[in-house]
RNA sequence: CGGGGCGUAGCGAAGUUGGCAUCGCGCCGCGUUUGGGACGCGGAGAUCAUCGGUUCAAAUCCGGUCGCCCCGACCA
């Protein structure tokens, strides 16, 4: 595979993204439209996201389970808004075992319906609540336009599903899980996100309220990176999810669902990547340190060998993920290769370093000489750990500064159009109707990303209608 | 799903009026190299997306199908 450079982001961001995905070996294309192979290096990033989330799910009392891929078509039809939202993108099995099926089976686009059915059987009494379940699964949505990780026909995700006795509890759960997503995004993926509520138009099909974390990519487009829904009693009523309360009265449960997908891998790529390739946050990087031994001949190679092995062992013992690059290539080639793959730290160990008991550490987040430093071999584990933490922090800071510098407050529709036209995000007081929101989308291409939790307070004048508005909204062009 | 572009070796491309399938990178072997993308010599690798048609002869001309990319409408 050619490693010789990549199209600059400024020239063609889409092209840059595609090239990076394939050149950094994250994914491969397949014969089936919109379906990608997630290659080991890409899958390891997903595994990092996954384990970070799974740990947090367990810590908040959730258990994993697995529900079937196939859903009887009739289930989907029980919740009117839900089926309407999803029917255009369903894949449906009509023939199986060589026979036409009596009831068609939908390949799950999400599992509210099957899980709702199960919950209705599992829940009898208020003592069974809350019921806190998560599943790791693949889902299928027949998308018209696909992009690796960002929107694929089949994708991997987790979907949490919970049932509660009261609306307040369900709401608390919905918000808690949004916090879990934001925490993982910011602390593990170093992706700064804005928490907020979706508008009616952008709300999940069948939900009462939908909350979202929104991230800004380096082309300044918004990426919805995780969503959490308070489903109210809609699914409880459709699937008879009821419990007997302490007063011996039947009550409908309040349910929630929340999901985060392999799209997050795309978010990591597009939040941190630069013109030399990927830049991975240390916490998610499959390889945190790439050790490149430097030698001119076999004698030097032998001389360097022991030092490299010893340091590698120390790093591994400290749970630092490393690789040693003994490939028969020039050092320059290797430097570029690991930069393309986004490895946070490159360590060079050559004859001079062996002699002086040094090693060279080069940071991926600071290009060239600036990011290089000599460190003594004694205490190298701590030096690496500290540097990894700094890189994690710096990637987040860079992304946050970039994002904040590209969000602009607008007072009227003209300002709004200018900001959107320039590709930026617009924030303004908002009190307009659903119809107005659709019109804005039609006229400018920007969608209401969310009503941020973080509000200025008080009231202001709606930038579109001039009416008194209780809160600001965030608009942007989105993926 | 509309409009536009494109499918030739693993990747990127050339292929004129139809006539031996080319080039660069990568891959394999040998030798020289190696602290920012090394070089020489020798090799392997292609039903030219696919199906059909025209023709003595098709990568090339005609038609269908599939897939990919870009721009729009729909979506985690």
Query: What is the per-residue pLDDT across A419-454, written as a single tens digit (0 to 9) for each?
Result: 998 889 999 999 999 999 998 988 888 999 999 999
pLDDT at A33: 80
Residue A203 tokens, joined: 């709300």
| Range A90-105 average pLDDT | 88
Cβ count within 10 A of residue A449: 27
Query: CB of residue A110 closer than 7 A to nucleic acid strand B?
Result: no
CA of A369: nearest nucleotide by C1' is B36
Q: What's the structural domain count of chain A?
A: 3
Q: Can you tell me the mean pLDDT for A20-39? A: 86
Q: A223 to each of A212, A213, A455, how far by Cα in Å?
A: 10, 9, 20
Domain termination site, one of A211, A237, A272: A272
The answer to whether residues A354 and A413 belong to one domain is no
pLDDT at A1: 32
Side-chain-side CA neighbours of residue A200 (13 Å): 8
The residue whose two tokens read 């063609």 is A12
ipTM attached to this prediction: 0.88
Has residue A117 got a pLDDT over 70? Answer: yes
Average pLDDT over residues A267-273: 95
**From the Cβ of A152, is strand B under 7 Å away?**
yes
Whether A327 and A454 share a structural domain: no
Q: Which domain holds residue A418?
A: 407-476
Q: Are residues A212 and A300 in the same domain?
A: no
CB A38 within 8 A of CB A244: no
Q: pLDDT grade, residue A2 (50/70/90)?
A: very low
Pick from A387, A415, A437: which residue ends a domain? A387
Residues 241-260 of A with CB under 7 A from strand B: 259
What are A232-254's pLDDT values in tens digits? 999 999 999 999 999 999 999 99
| Statement: the CB of A11 is under 7 Å from strand B | no
pLDDT, mean of residues A382-392: 98
Q: Which nucleotide comes closest to A333 if you measure CA to C1'?
A: B37
Which CATH number belongs to the domain containing residue A226 in this structure?
A: 3.30.930.10
A411 and A308 together in one domain: no
**Pair A380, A416 in one domain:** no
Whether residue A73 is predicted with pLDDT greater than 50 in this model: the reply is yes
Rounded distance in angstroms from the CA atom of residue A130 to the C1' atom of nucleotide B69: 48
Q: b or e along A346-371 (b: 16 or more beta carbons within 10 Å of the residue's beta carbon)?
A: bbbbbbebbeeebbbbbbbbeeeeeb
Q: What is the pLDDT of residue A196?
A: 97
Residue whose tokens read 């050092």: A331
State the pLDDT confidence band at A401, using cuts at 50, 70 and 90: very high
Question: In this structure, is residue A381 part of a structural domain?
Answer: yes
Q: Which nucleotides of B are covered by protein (CB under 7 A)?
A: 1, 10-12, 24-26, 33-38, 66-76
**Burial of A30: CB neighbours in 10 Å, binned 0-12, 13-18, 19+:** exposed
Kindly report, residue by residue over A35-47, the tens digit of the pLDDT.
888 999 999 999 9
Specify the CATH number for the domain of residue A467: 3.30.110.30
Statement to judge: residues A299 and A356 lie in one domain: yes
In terms of domains, do A21 and A154 share one? yes
Domain with A355 in it: what CATH number?
3.40.50.800
Q: Are residues A156 and A302 in the same domain?
A: no
pLDDT value at residue A328:
92
In the predicted model, is pLDDT for residue A210 greater than 60?
A: yes
A84 shares a domain with A125: yes
């Amino acid at each position: 595979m050619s490693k010789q450079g990549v199209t600059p982001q400024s020239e063609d961001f889409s092209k840059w993204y595609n090239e990076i995905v394939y050149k950094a070996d994250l994914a491969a294309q397949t014969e089936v439209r919109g379906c990608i192979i997630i290659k080991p290096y890409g899958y390891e990033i997903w595994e990092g996201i996954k384990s970070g989330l799974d740990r947090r799910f367990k810590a908040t009392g959730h258990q994993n389970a697995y529900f079937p891929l196939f859903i009887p078509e009739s289930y989907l039809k029980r919740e009117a808004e839900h089926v309407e939202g999803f029917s255009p993108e369903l894949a449906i099995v009509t023939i199986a075992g060589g026979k036409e099926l009596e009831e068609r089976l939908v390949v799950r686009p999400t599992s509210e319906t099957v899980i709702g059915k199960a919950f209705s059987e599992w829940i009898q009494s208020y003592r069974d609540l809350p019921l806190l379940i998560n599943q790791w699964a693949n889902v299928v949505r027949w998308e018209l336009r696909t992009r690796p990780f960002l929107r694929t026909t089949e994708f991997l995700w987790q979907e949490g599903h919970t049932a509660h006795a009261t609306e307040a509890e369900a709401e608390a759960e919905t918000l808690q899980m949004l916090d879990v997503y934001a925490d993982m995004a910011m602390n593990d993926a170093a992706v700064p996100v804005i928490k907020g509520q979706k508008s009616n138009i952008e709300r999940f099909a069948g939900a009462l309220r939908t909350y979202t974390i929104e991230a800004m990519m380096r082309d300044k487009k918004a990426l919805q990176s995780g969503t959490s829904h308070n489903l109210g009693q809609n699914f409880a009523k459709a699937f008879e999810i009821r419990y007997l309360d302490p007063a011996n009265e039947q009550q409908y449960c309040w349910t929630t669902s929340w999901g985060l997908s392999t799209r997050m891998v795309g978010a990591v790529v597009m939040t941190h990547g630069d013109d030399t390739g990927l830049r991975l946050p240390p916490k998610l990087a499959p390889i945190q340190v790439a050790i490149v031994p430097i030698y001119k001949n076999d004698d030097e190679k032998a001389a360097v060998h022991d030092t490299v092995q010893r340091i590698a062992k120390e790093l591994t013992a400290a749970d630092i993920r490393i690789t040693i690059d003994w490939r028969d290539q020039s050092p320059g080639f290797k430097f570029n290769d690991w930069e393309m793959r986004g490895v946070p730290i490159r360590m060079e160990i050559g004859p001079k370093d062996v002699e002086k008991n040094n090693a060279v550490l080069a940071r991926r987040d600071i290009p060239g000489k600036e990011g290089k430093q000599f460190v003594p071999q004694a205490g190298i584990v701590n030096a690496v750990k500290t540097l990894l933490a700094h890189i994690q922090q710096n990637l987040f800071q860079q992304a946050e500064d970039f994002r904040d510098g590209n969000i602009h407050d607008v007072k009227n529709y003209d300002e709004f159009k200018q900001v959107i036209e320039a590709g930026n995000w617009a924030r303004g007081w908002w009190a307009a109707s659903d119809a107005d929101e659709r019109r804005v989308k039609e006229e400018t291409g920007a969608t209401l990303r969310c009503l941020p939790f973080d509000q200025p307070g008080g009231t202001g004048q709606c930038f579109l209608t001039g009416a008194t508005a209780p809160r600001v909204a965030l608009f942007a062009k989105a993926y």
